[in-house]
Amino acid sequence: MALFPLGQVVATPRALSALQKAEQAPHEFLDRHVNGDWGEVHEDDKRENEFSVQRGFRILSAYTTSAGDRIWILTEADRSATTLMLPSEY
């Protein structure tokens, strides 16, 4: 069960390219994100995400594709949009 709405889901061209290279679909990571598996973030950031789910703040997850590229997923505080991007694009 989803913990929060994703809003409009968008991805940068570089993130889509990284997913294609890994032969992975965006939903693999979006499903983890929306269900509270924040991926490879520090413990402090995991606690911050838990707080943000309850209080309506921005939520950030980080994952590594099977090809070794790092992907970030960022859901806006107002839950209007969720973006898949590379960390260098933030």
1 is a domain residue: no
- pTM of this structure: 0.96
Over range 55-79, report the average pLDDT. 98
Q: Given the structure tokens 């694009």, which residue do they identify?
A: 89
- Domain range for residue 51? 8-89
Choose among 19, 54, 45: nearest CA to 9: 19
Is residue 34 included in any domain, yes or no?
A: yes
At 90, the pLDDT band (50, 70, 90 cuts) reads confident
pLDDT attached to residue 70: 98
Q: Residue 82: inside a domain, yes or no?
A: yes
Does pLDDT of 61 surpass 90? yes
Computed over every residue of the chain, the mean pLDDT equals 97
Number of domains in the chain: 1
